[in-house]
Chain A
Amino acid sequence: MTGTVLLAVVVLSVAGALPTLALVGTRPVALVLLPLTGSALAGVSATCCVLIAGDLGDWFVICSVTAAAVVVGVWIRRPTTRPALPDLSTRARTVPVVVGGLLVAVVVVWALWGLRVMDVGQDARVIWITRGGWYVRGHGVARSVLSNRAYLFDEPGFPPLVGATSGIGWIVGRIPVGSAAAFRSGQILMGILNGCGLFALGASLLQVGRRNPGGGGDTVRSDRTTTWAAAVAAPVLCAAVAGAAGRGLTNGLADLPWMLAAAFAVVYGLILPLTRSHLGIAVIGMAVAGQIKLEGTATAAVVVVLVALRYALAPRSPSGGGRGATPQAGGSPARRERGTRALVGAVVGLVALAAWPATTVVLGAIADPNRSGHRQGSLGLRLHATWDTLGGYLHIVPLAALVAVVAALTLSAARRRLGLGGDLGLWVVLVANLMVVGGTYVIGSTAVRPWLGVSADRVVVFAVILSLTDLAVWLLVAVEALSRSVPVGPTDPEEPPDRPSASHPRSPALVDAP
C-alpha cells in the first residue's frame, strides 16, 4: 500500500512540477506544493471527464501535458520568466528558516501519525473518495451518476478534487475501484495533501521577517530575532492547527484539504509581501481549495477578489524590487497596467472556480438534499440553533479579533517594517466563510440540529485556523517591535550589501520578483 501511494504522489508531483516551478520558482516550499498542484490538475481532469468525454486517466494526461506545454511555451517566449536558482547568499537569515522548516516537518509528520491505521471517515467513504470510482469508470458513468437520484446520499454534485486525486492513485496503483485498498489509499493520499497544506502554512510564517522588500531594515538584530521567532512560531502554529483539526487530518474527509490550502493562500496572497512567487503559491492554494467543497469554492472566490484588489492597489516598490528582484525593464508595472492585470486575473480565477458548479447546473445534477425541498423549522429557529452551535466552537475568533484590533492600533509600524499587508483581508475571508457556512444551515432544508450535530465541529475549523494564523503573525510583529525597541550594536558582517536601507518608505509594496 505504501509503495502504491508513494507512486501516486510521485505521479501527481511530476504532473504538477512545471506549473509549480513557473508559479513559485525554485523554493523549498515548492516541493510540498507539487502534489497539491497535481491534485488541482486531477480536479480539472474530473470536470473535463464529466463534461466532455473520456475518463479520468485520459484527461489527467491531457491536462498535465497541456499545462507543461503552456509553461514551456511561456519560458521560450519570455525568457525572463524562467525561474532563477534560490538565493542562498544570506546565511544569517537562511539558518533559522531551515531550522524552522525542519521543526514544521516534524510537527507535520507527527500530525499525520493517524495515517498508520485505516480510518476512513463516514463522509469520506459515502461522499468524497467514493466519487473517484465514477471518474475512473469514465464519462458515461460519471455523467449518469450526476443526475441519478439513487446516488442522492453520495452528493454527486459536490466538487471533484478528493475523488479525482484518489482515482489517480487507483489508476497508478492498479487498485480495484470500491475495494478496501481503494479507500485506504484515498485516505492516505488525502492525509498527504493535508500534510503538504500544513507544511505550506507553516512555511508561510517562516517568510515573515526574512525578506522585507521595500521595507526598512536598519538593524540585523531585529530581522534575525524575528526570523528566529518565526522558526519557533511556525511549528507551534502547525501544532495548534493540527490540534484544532484533530482526526480530520487523517480520515479522508474533504474539510481540511481545502481549509489548509485556502489558509496558506490567504497568508501568501494577502499578508506576505506581494511577490510573484507568493502570488503563485496563493494561486495554487486557491486552485486546490476551490475544487474540494462548495464552501471552499466560495471562500477561494473571496480570496481571488481580495488578492486582485491588493495587487491592483499595492503601492509601487520604491526600489523597483527588493533583493533577489528579477531584473525586468521598467520595474513594477504602472498602476493602470496592474489594475488591468488584476481584473483579468480575477475574472480568469472566478471563471475557473465556477467551472464545476456550472458543469453541475448545465448537466442537471440532483440537488443537495440538505438544501432542497421543504424547510424544516422556521428561519428564526434555524438561525438561533446555528448561532448557538457554531458559536460553541468559535471562542478563539473574538479573542483573535480583539488582539487584532489592539495590535493594529499599537503595532502597525512594525507590521509595515516587515513588509506585511494588513490583516483586514484575512478577516473578510473568515467572516465570508462563516456567513457561507452559517447561511447554508439557516436556509437549508434538513432538520438543522441533527445536521449541525454531525458537521458543525468540522466546518468551523477554517475560522479557527485563520484566527490562529492571525495570532501567529501578530506574535511575530510584536517580536519585531520589541526587538527594535532594544538598542543594537553595529551591523552584522554577514549582512549583504544590497540590503534595503532604513530610509526607504516602509509600506507593503508590490515587487515583481520571486
Chain B
Amino acid sequence: MVLVTCLGVLTTVAVTAHTHTTLAQLASQQAKNEAKQHIFVCLSTRAHHLVSADEPVSLQRSSLPLDVLLDGAVASWADVVTDPSSARVGLRVKAGTGPDACGGYILVIRTHP
C-alpha cells in the first residue's frame, strides 16, 4: 500500500504539474513575461540616459506597482537618496503613451533648482 501510494503521488505530481497548463496558457504567460521584461529594460535604459550612476537621485513614490517598476529599473546602479533636496534630479514612473513610453509607462524626470 505504501509503495503504491508513494509511486502514485510522485508520478501524479510529476505528470500533472507539467501538463495542467495548456499551450495557449503557456504562450500567454510567456508573452506577459516578455512584455514585463521589456518594460524594466526600457525604463532602465531611459534612466541611464537621464542620470549617471554617481549622481544623487530621488525617487518620487506614487503607487506600489509603479514604485516597483522604478526600483527595478534603477535600484541596483543609481545613487538613490531619501531627501529630494539633496538630489539634482527626481525620477518617477507614470502610466502613459508616446514615443518615450515603455509598454504603457513613462519615466518622468524632475530637475531640482
Contact = CB atoms under 8 A, between A and B. Distances in A.
A51 interface: no
A416 to B, nearest CB: 16
A153 B67 contact: yes
A149 interface: yes
Contacts of B16: 243
Interface string B1-44: 11101110111011111100000000000100110110011001
A216 B101 CA distance: 70
Given A120-B37, A122-B36, A180-B41, A236 B14 contact: yes
Contacts of A262: none
B10 A244 contact: no
Interface majority SS (helix, strand, loop, mixed), chain A: helix
Contacts of B37: 118-120
A390 interface: no
A118 B36 CA distance: 10
Contacts of A133: 75-77
B81 A130 contact: no
Contacts of B71: 126, 130, 151, 153-154
B80 A150 contact: yes
Interface string B46-65: 00100001000011000000
A150 B82 contact: yes
Interface in A466-484: 468, 471-472, 474-475, 477-479, 482
B65 to A, nearest CB: 10
B72 interface: yes
A296 interface: no
A126 B75 contact: yes
Interface in A435-491: 468, 471-472, 474-475, 477-479, 482
B5 A403 contact: yes
B82 A478 contact: no
A240 interface: yes
A475 B10 CA distance: 10
A150 to B, nearest CB: 4
B90 to A, nearest CB: 11
A400 B5 CA distance: 9
Interface in B69-99: 71-72, 74-82
A126 B43 CA distance: 13
B68 interface: yes
Given A399-B9, A475-B6, A243 B18 contact: yes
A178 B52 CA distance: 12
B94 to A, nearest CB: 17
A180 B67 CA distance: 19
A62 B79 CA distance: 27
A122 B13 contact: no
B13 A151 contact: no
Interface in A248-283: 251
Contacts of B53: 177-178
B6 A154 contact: no
A154 to B, nearest CB: 5
A430 to B, nearest CB: 16
B34 A132 contact: no
A244 B13 contact: yes
B92 to A, nearest CB: 13
Contacts of A410: 2
A66 B78 CA distance: 33
Given A130-B76, A407-B2, A178 B48 contact: yes
B77 A150 contact: no
Contacts of B9: 396, 399-400, 403, 468, 471
Nearest to A122: B68
A482 B6 CA distance: 14
A375 B3 CA distance: 47
A180 B76 CA distance: 11
Contacts of A151: 71, 75, 80
Given A177-B77, A178-B44, A236 B17 contact: no
B17 A182 contact: no
B64 to A, nearest CB: 8
A246 B26 CA distance: 12
A497 to B, nearest CB: 32
A399 to B, nearest CB: 6
B10 A474 contact: no
With a 10 A CB-CB cut-off, give which of B30, B48, B67, B75 has the most chain A CB atoms.
B75
9 contacts: A117-B30, A119-B33, A120-B37, A125-B72, A180-B45, A236-B10, A240-B17, A403-B6, A468-B9
Interface of A: 117-120, 122, 125-126, 129-134, 141, 148-151, 153-154, 176-180, 182-183, 233, 236-237, 239-240, 242-244, 246, 251, 396, 399-400, 403, 406-407, 410-411, 468, 471-472, 474-475, 477-479, 482
A-B residue pairs, 6 tightest by C-beta: A243-B17, A178-B77, A133-B76, A475-B6, A478-B3, A239-B14
Given A178-B77, A240-B14, A474-B6, 19 more contacts: A122-B68, A125-B72, A126-B72, A130-B76, A131-B76, A132-B76, A134-B76, A149-B82, A150-B80, A153-B75, A178-B48, A178-B53, A233-B10, A236-B10, A236-B14, A243-B13, A246-B17, A474-B2, A479-B3
